[in-house]
């Protein structure tokens, strides 16, 4: 399913291609690209649920955290996310790329991937997808893009 999400993000969302494609057309294109129907439907459902998270009143846990609360990860979250991933989440929250709401949206979407382990690169892409879908997060999205795409410069001796 994650491969389908990446395909959609790179070919439609990130490339500024026409985003309003009929679901049947999109399904056909994904089938031609080699993806199977059950995974396609899971990916489209994942995206639909991400869009639904924009209605925070309907998702009570998004409003449950005080502004400067510290996030404590559950055992299952620690099993899914390495120390590096959890540290990265804390880092991007501290520098203002995400806030407590977008952090929880990211956590929701990570668990919806139904993967036993999430790598740092996958985490970064999920953060980018969430930020793309949050109105008013253009600057945060741009900062996250820089964190993903900008290679560190080599040190000259």
Does position 18 have pLDDT exceeding 80, yes or no? no
> pTM of the entire structure?
0.79
Query: pLDDT tens digit string along 82-114?
Result: 999 999 999 999 999 999 889 999 999 999 998
Does position 139 have pLDDT exceeding 70, yes or no? yes
| pLDDT value of position 10 | 79
| pLDDT value of position 56 | 56
Quick one: 144 exposed, middle or buried, by C-beta within 10 A (0-12, 13-18, 19+)?
buried
| pLDDT value of position 151 | 56
| pLDDT value of position 55 | 67
Give CA–CA dist 28/22, Å, rounded: 10
Query: pLDDT tens digit string along 25-41?
Result: 888 989 999 999 999 99
Q: Name residues whose C-beta falls within 8 Å of residue 90's C-beta, 6 or more positions apart in sequence.
A: 71
What value does the mean pLDDT of the chain take? Answer: 83
Query: pLDDT tens digit string along 115-129?
Result: 899 999 999 999 999
Residue with the larger pLDDT of the pair 54 and 123: 123
Alpha carbon distances (Å) from 114 to 17, 38, 107: 28, 14, 12
Q: Name residues whose C-beta falls within 8 Å of residue 97's C-beta, 6 or more positions apart in sequence.
A: 127, 131, 140, 143, 144, 147
Q: What residue ranges do the domains of the chain occupy?
A: 1-52, 66-149
* DSSP-derived 3-state class of residue 103: helix
Q: What is the mean pLDDT of residues 126-151?
A: 87
Report yes or no: 105 and 62 within 8 Å, Cβ to Cβ.
yes
Which tokens hold the place of 13?
A: 């969302």
* DSSP-derived 3-state class of residue 90: helix
| Phi-psi map region of 150: left, alpha, beta (phi>0 left; psi -120 to 50 alpha) | beta
Per-residue pLDDT band at 2 (split at 50, 70, 90): confident
| pLDDT value of position 75 | 95
């Amino acid at each position: 399913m994650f491969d389908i999400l990446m395909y959609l993000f790179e070919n439609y969302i990130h490339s500024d291609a026409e985003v309003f494609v009929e679901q049947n057309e999109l399904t056909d294109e994904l089938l031609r690209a080699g993806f199977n129907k059950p995974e396609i439907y899971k990916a489209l459902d994942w995206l639909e649920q991400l869009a639904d998270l924009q209605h925070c009143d309907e998702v009570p846990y998004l409003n449950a955290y005080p502004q400067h609360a510290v996030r404590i990860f559950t055992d299952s979250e620690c099993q899914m996310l390495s120390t590096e991933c959890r540290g990265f989440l804390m880092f991007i929250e501290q520098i203002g790329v995400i806030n407590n709401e977008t952090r929880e949206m990211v956590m929701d979407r990570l668990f919806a991937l139904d993967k036993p382990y999430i790598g740092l690169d996958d985490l970064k892409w999920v953060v980018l997808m969430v930020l793309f879908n949050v109105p008013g997060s253009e600057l945060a999205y741009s900062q996250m893009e820089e964190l993903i795409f900008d290679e560190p410069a080599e040190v000259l001796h």
